[in-house]
Amino acid sequence: MPFHPPQFPTDSHGWQELLPLRKPTKELSGSHTYKWTIVGAGLTGLACAFRLAELHPNDKILVLDARKVGQGASGRNAGFAIAASHFPGGYDPKEMPLYQRVRRINQTGVNLLRTQVTGFNIKCDWDENGFHHVAADAKALAEHDHYRACLDALQIPHTNLEANELAERLGTSHYRRGLHVHEGALIQPAALVHGLADNLPKNVTLAENTPVLAVQLGAQPNLVFPHGEVKTDTLILATNYEAQKIGFLSNRMIGSTLSGSFTRILTAKERESLGTLKHWGILSLHSAGATVRLTNDGRIVLRNAIEYNGGQLLDEKTIAQRQTIHRAAFEKRFPQLSHVPFEHSWSGVEGITANGTNFFGKQAENIYLAGGYNGSGVSRGTSFGRAIAEYASNVLSDLVDDCSVCAPAKFLPPRPFLDIGAALTIRSRFSGVGLDI
C-alpha cells in the first residue's frame, strides 16, 4: 500500500496579519537524538516545554512544529483565556466536582499565562477584565439562568445585566440579557504564542516548518520528518486534533472549522458609538452563537460560522462566501457601523469530541499526549501542557490529578460515515440559535 504523508496546510489569517513579520526558526534536518521531544508548538506544547525545562534543566528538549508558530489553532482562536467555563444545560448539584475541577484547571492556565506575559513583557493586549456572556434568543436566554445558577453555586464573581445595561456597555441593543463574568483574560492569540516561543528556556530547541510524517514505536520512539529523523527517550504529543494524522486518537475526535472577520480600525467617532467600555469580549450563551470582540486597537472581530470541512481550513473562495454570514451578523448588532468594511477574514479548526472530554496520559511506551479542548484551549491547553510534562516526569501534583480525570472519548465511526455524522452533529449545534448567530 502506498504511503500518503500527512498534510499540514496553512494560510495567512487575521490575527497574524496584524503583527510584524516574525522570522521562524530553522527547519530541522539530519539525524538527531533528544532526551525529550514535543510535537506541537501551540499553547500546550509551549507550556510543556517550559515545565520540562524547569524539571530537567540539564536535558536537551526539542519542540517540533509542522508550521510556523502561530499558524495553528493557538494563533487562530478568538483570544479568550477562560477561567469560568459555561456548562450548557441546567445546573446540576451532583456535577459540582466536575465544575470545580474544570474551574481549577482553567484558573491555573490563566495564572500561568499571566505570569509569563508579565515576566517576559509579551505585548499581546492582555486584558484581564472578564467577558460578557450574552443572549438574544430563547435558547440562549434559558442558558442565562442555567449559567447564573452555576456561577452562584461556585461563588464566581459576576454581574447580571439587562438589555439596557448591555447596550450602555457594548453599544449594541441586540442582546436581551447577559452576565459579565469578572474572571478571564482577552488576548491577541498570535502575539501570545509568538512571545512564548521567543522566550523558551536555553535548553529548549524549537524547529518550525518541520512536520512529523510518521512515529515509529519502541523504547526510543523515532520521528520521521521530511529531511531527517529524531530518536527520543520520551515523546510528548501536543497536536490536538492533528494527532490522528500520525496515528493517535483515531476515531476519537474531529476538527470543526470556524470562520470570522475583522473590521478596519474604527475612527474615534465610530468607537464612541460602542458604549462605555474601551474593549470587550462577547461570548454567546448558545454554543453556536457569534463570538464578538472590540480589540485594543479598535477593531470589531466577529466569528460565527461553524461547519465540518474534514478538519481543514477553508479556501479563499469559501471564506469569501462565509463573509456574507459574518456581515449580516455584524450589521444586526451594529447598524450604526454598517458602512465599516471588513479588512481580514480567516478560518481555524478546533478539536471536539462527541462527549466533550479531553485527552491526557500515556499512549504507548514512552509516548504521552494532551489535547482535545472543545474550544477552550487557551487556558485549559496551557494547564494540560504543564501537567503532561509533570506526568511524564513522574512528578505528582494537584494539577496532574485534575487533568487525569478525563472521561473516555466516545468512539467515532470511520470515514465516510464519520463525515456524514460529523456534519450532522455540527449542524445540530445551530438548533435554536436564532438571533444569537
Tens-binned pLDDT, residue by residue, of the chain (437 aa): 445 678 888 888 889 999 999 999 999 999 999 999 999 999 999 999 999 999 999 999 999 999 999 999 999 999 999 999 999 888 899 999 999 999 999 999 999 999 999 999 999 999 999 999 999 999 899 999 999 999 999 999 999 999 999 999 999 999 999 999 999 999 999 999 999 999 999 999 999 999 999 999 999 999 999 999 999 999 999 999 899 999 998 888 888 899 999 999 999 999 999 999 999 999 999 988 999 999 999 999 999 988 888 889 999 999 999 999 999 999 999 999 999 999 999 999 998 887 888 999 999 999 999 999 988 899 999 999 999 999 999 999 999 999 999 888 887 777 777 777 777 766 666 666 778 88
Residues 6 and 123 in one domain: yes
Contact yes or no for 329/291 (Cβ under 8 A) = no
C-alpha cell at 261: 472577520
Contact yes or no for 75/15 (Cβ under 8 A) = yes
Residues 172 and 202 in one domain: no
Whole-number pLDDT of residue 4 = 66
Residues 9 and 83 in one domain: yes
Residues 143 and 224 in one domain: no
Residues 57 and 141 in one domain: no
Can you tell me the distance from the alpha carbon of 150 to that of 304, in angstroms, rounded to the nearest whole number?
A: 25
Instruction: With CA atoms as reference, report the closest residue to 16 among 269, 228, 194, 248.
Output: 194
Contact yes or no for 41/206 (Cβ under 8 A) = yes
Can you tell me the distance from the alpha carbon of 56 to that of 60, in angstroms, rounded to the nearest whole number?
A: 8
Residues 153 and 10 in one domain: no
Q: Check the CA dihedral 368-210-34-365 and report its sign.
A: positive
Q: Check the CA dihedral 310-314-315-321 and report its sign.
A: positive
Number of domains comprising the chain: 2
In degrees and rounded to multiples of 5, residue 340 shows phi and psi of -80, 125
Can you tell me the distance from the alpha carbon of 81 to that of 87, in angstroms, rounded to the nearest whole number?
A: 16
Whole-number pLDDT of residue 6 = 85
> 167 burial class (0-12, 13-18, 19+ CB within 10 angstroms)?
middle
Residues 18 and 69 in one domain: yes
Host domain of residue 161: 131-182+254-352+411-437
Can you tell me the distance from the alpha carbon of 138 to that of 196, in angstroms, rounded to the nearest whole number?
A: 41
CATH number of domain containing 394 = 3.50.50.60
Residues 172 and 69 in one domain: no
Whole-number pLDDT of residue 1 = 41
Whole-number pLDDT of residue 412 = 77
Whole-number pLDDT of residue 212 = 97
Instruction: With CA atoms as reference, report the closest residue to 239 among 24, 5, 41.
Output: 41
Helix (H) or strand (E) holding 109: helix 96-119
Q: What is the tens place of the pLDDT at every residue in 211-244?
A: 999 999 999 999 999 999 999 999 999 999 899 9
Residues 340 and 423 in one domain: yes
CATH number of domain containing 418 = 3.30.9.10
The amino acid occupying position 40 is G
Residues 19 and 41 in one domain: yes
Residues 389 and 270 in one domain: no
Residues 375 and 401 in one domain: yes
CA atoms within 13 A on the CB side of 330: 24
- Residue 180 pairs in a beta bridge with 132, 159
